Structure 1
Amino acid sequence: MAAEQLTVTTADGTAIAVSRRIGGDESVVFLHAGVADRRSWSTVFDALADTDLDLVAYDRRGYGETPAAADPTGFSHLDDLVTVLDALELEQVFLVGNSMGGALALDAALTVPSRIAGVLLIGAGVSGMTDEDTPFDWVLDPATAPLLEVAESSDASVDDRIAALAHLWLDGPAAPAGRVGGAARTLFEDMNRRVLEVAAPDSAGSTGVEAWTRLGEIRLPVLSTWGDLDIPADLPFYEETARRIGQEPGRVLPGVAHLPGLEQPGLVADLVREVVAA
C-alpha cells in the first residue's frame, strides 16, 4: 500500500508534511536525521510492506516540504511531534529516531512517556550531550576533520558541501567516497540541497530538555544502535548513551554509516519488527 501524503497544521499555522501508510493497531513514527527529511524512510516503509503496522514519517520544520519557522525560538520540535500524534489520533506509538531524530525521541520518552510504547535509536544524538562528564573526549580523526570543514564552510560551493556531507554521513568518513551510490545517494543529495537552502539554525525548535544527564530515568523499552562506519569520534557517545539508558548493551550495525535506513532499509525494517515485537 502506498503511503498517503498529509498535512498537519500546528497552532501557529505551520503546515507539517506527513507521510502515512495506515495499518493495524501498532503505530511507528519515524524521526529523520538532520541531514535528511521524511523521504529517507520511504524504502524502510517498502521493506515493512509485509506488516500491518501503521507507519508515519514527517518533515520537521526547515526540512523537506515543511517550511522553517520565522522565529527559531518560537516553537518546539517536541510540541510539533505531539501535535502530529494528536492530529493523527495516535494515543501511543513506537518511535524510530535517527541522529537528531533520536534526540527528539529521547526527549519525548522523558517528557511524554505515556505516549511512547518503545524507542529504536539509530546513531542517536542526545540533547545536552557533552564530553565534560565522560572519560573520553570528542576528538576528530584525520578522515573526518577535513570533510567536516568543507561541509560547514560558507565559502565552499553547494556541490562541494553536499559531496563532503555525503562522504561524512552516507559513506562514512573512513570509507571510500561514493561507497553508497544509486538512488540512495541521489536522494541524499536532494535532501541536503534543501537543508542548505533553508539553512535553519541547529538550535531551532529546541525542546529545552537536558536528556544526557537524565537517560537513567527512562523506563520505556529502548534499543540503541549505530553503524560501525559512522564518525569515529561519535562512537563512544553512542556506547555511553546505551550504558546510561542501562537496558541492554547497544548494538553495532556492521557495514553501515550514519543513515542505515538509506543504504540497508531491510536491516532497519528488521530492527523495527524486533522492537515492536518486544
Structure 2
Amino acid sequence: MRGYEDTGVEVAGGTLAVRRWPGAPGAGTVLAVHGIASNGLSWGPVAEALDGVEVIAPDLRGRGGSRAVAGPSSMAAHADDLRAVLDHFGVRQAVLAGHSMGGFVACVAACRGADRYRELVLVDGGLGFPVPAGTDIDQVLHAVIGPAMAKLDMEFADRAAYHAFWAGHPAFAELTGAHVAAYLDRDLVGAEPRLRSACRAAAIREDAEDELRNPEVFAAIRRLPVPARLLWAERGLRDEPVGLYPPQVVAAAGLEGVPAHFVPGVNHYSILLGAPGAAVVAGHVREAL
C-alpha cells in the first residue's frame, strides 16, 4: 500500500481529519470528496491506482475523524472547507473528484471558486433531481441509501461485527481487502461492545435537505465554470441491475459540456472501493491532470 499521512486542517467549527497520499513533484493533486454517509478513506483504492499523484481526501464535517466539527452542514459549507484544505497544503489548483454527494459538493465548490479547480471528475453523483415539497427526508434517505442510514441507530460489539454488517450488503458482496477494512474502521467511534457509526445524523439530514431541495445545488452542474466529466455506474446502491442514474435519465439530462461515461460491471460503491472501478476512476483522473 502507498504511504500516507493523516493531518488536521482548521475550518470553521473545528478540525477536519484529512488523509493525504503524497505524490511526485509536478504530478499534480487530486482533492477527493466522499459521499453522504462515508469518509475520506473510500478513496483508498483510487489513491492506490494513482501512485505518484498527490491525493488529498478529507473526512467531511460530521463524518469519520471530522465528526466533532461544529456548525451547520451544507454543500456550500463543505465547499468552503475544501478551499481551506487546499490552502493548508499550499495547493494552488487541483483536479476535484467527488463521489455520490461529493459530486454535488464538487459542483458547488467549482461554482464558488473556479480558480482552484482545473477539472471535475463526478463519480456517480452531481446530477440531481429535487424531491417534492413536504417529502420526509428521512424516508427518502432510508429508501435510497438504506443500510447507510440504518447504521446510525445501531451499536456493534466489535469491529468484526461492523464488517459483517456491511458484508451482508448486496453492493459490498465482493468488496474485500485492506482498503475496504480501513474505510469501515474509520466509520466507528466509541468502545467495545458499544461501537457506533462516526456519521453524525444531523449533518447527514442537513446535507440531504440541501442536496435534494436547494435549487442552486442541483443547478450547479449546468453552470460549471470549469471542465467536468460524469462517470455513472451500471448498477445501483444495493447492486440493483439499474444504477442510480438509469441510461434514459443520463440521456435526457442534456448536460452540455459534461460528457457522461458509462462504467459497466460496477455498482454505486464498487465504482470506488473495488479494484476494477477504482482503475477506471483513476484513469479519468489522470486524463484530467
TM over 0.5, shorter chain? yes
* Deviation (angstroms), 1:212: 1.8
Deviates most, 3-12 or 207-216: 207-216
How much is the aligned-residue C-alpha RMSD, in angstroms? 3.6
Unaligned runs of 5+ in 1: 133-139
Deviates more, 1:223-232 or 1:210-219: 210-219
Looking at structure 1, the residues matched to 109 and 145 of structure 2 have their Cα atoms a distance apart, in angstroms, of: 32
Among 248, 255, 260, the residue aligned to 1:250: 260
CA displacement 1:164-183 (0-9 Å, x = unmatched): 76666xx43xxxx6233344
Equivalent residue runs for 1:1-278 within 5 Å: 2-25=3-26, 26-49=28-51, 51=52, 53-72=53-72, 76-126=77-127, 129-130=129-130, 148=146, 151-153=148-150, 157-158=154-155, 171-172=170-171, 178-183=173-178, 185-193=180-188, 196-201=197-202, 202-204=204-206, 210-231=216-237, 232=242, 234-236=244-246, 239-240=249-250, 243-259=253-269, 260-264=271-275, 265-276=278-289
Deviates more, 1:102-111 or 1:261-270: 261-270
What's the TM-score, normalizing by structure 1? 0.75
Instruction: Give the superposition deviation at 1:83.
Output: 0.8
Structure 1 residues 44, 62: CA separation in 2 closer, same or farther (over 3 Å shift)? same
TM-superposed CA distance for 1:131, in Å, is 5.7
Residues 93 and 116 of structure 1 are in contact (CA less than 8 Å); yes or no, is this contact kept in structure 2? yes
Letter in 1 for 2:5: E
1:10 partner letter: V
Q: Distance in 2 between matches of 1:154 and 1:65?
A: 17
Give TM-score, length-normalised by structure 2: 0.72
Q: AA paired with 2:274?
A: E
Cα separation, 1, equivalents of 2:175 and 2:93: 35
CA contact (8 A) 1:215 1:241 kept: no
In structure 2, give the amino acid aligned to 1:62. Answer: G
**2:222–2:256 CA contact under 8 A, matched in 1:** yes
Aligned counterparts of 2:35 and 2:54: Cα–Cα separation in 1: 21
How far does residue 210 in structure 1 lie from its aligned partner after superposition? 1.5
Give the distance between the partners of 1:155 and 1:14, measured in 2 at CA. 22
Percent of residue pairs bearing the same amino acid type: 25
Distance 2:73 2:100 in 1: 21
Tell me the alpha carbon deviations over residues 240-261 of structure 1, each in whole angstroms, 9 at most, x when there is no partner. 4994431254111111111222
